[in-house]
Amino acid sequence: MLLDASQSQLVLVDYQARLMPAVFEGEAAAANAVRLGKFAQWVDVPVWGTEQNPSKLGENLPEIRALCSRTLAKMHFSGVEEGLGEWLRVPAKAPQGNARSLPKHLQKPAAAEERNTIVIAGCEAHVCLLQTALDLLEDEFEVWVVTDACTSRTERNRDAAFDRLAGAGAELVTTEMVGFEWLRTAEHPAFHDFQALIR
pLDDT band per the 50, 70, 90 thresholds, residue 110: very low
What is the CA 26 to chain-centroid distance, rounded?
A: 18
Spell out the domain ranges in the chain. 5-90+114-198
**Contact, 16 vs 61, CB < 8 A?**
yes
In DSSP terms, 144 is beta-bridged to: 119, 171
**For 136-168, how does the pLDDT look when each residue is reduced to its tens digit (9 = 90+)?**
999 999 999 999 999 999 999 999 999 999 999
Report H helices in the chain.
26-42, 54-57, 62-65, 84-88, 130-138, 155-168, 175-183, 191-198
Q: What is the CATH number of domain 5-90+114-198?
A: 3.40.50.850
DSSP string, 25-71: THHHHHHHHHHHHHHHHHTT--EEEEEESHHHH-PBPHHHHTT-SEE
Entry pTM: 0.89
**For 12-70, how does the pLDDT look when each residue is reduced to its tens digit (9 = 90+)?**
999 999 999 999 999 999 999 999 999 999 999 999 999 999 999 999 999 999 999 99
Q: Is the pLDDT of residue 190 over 80?
A: yes
**For 74-105, how does the pLDDT look when each residue is reduced to its tens digit (9 = 90+)?**
999 999 999 999 999 976 555 555 555 555 55
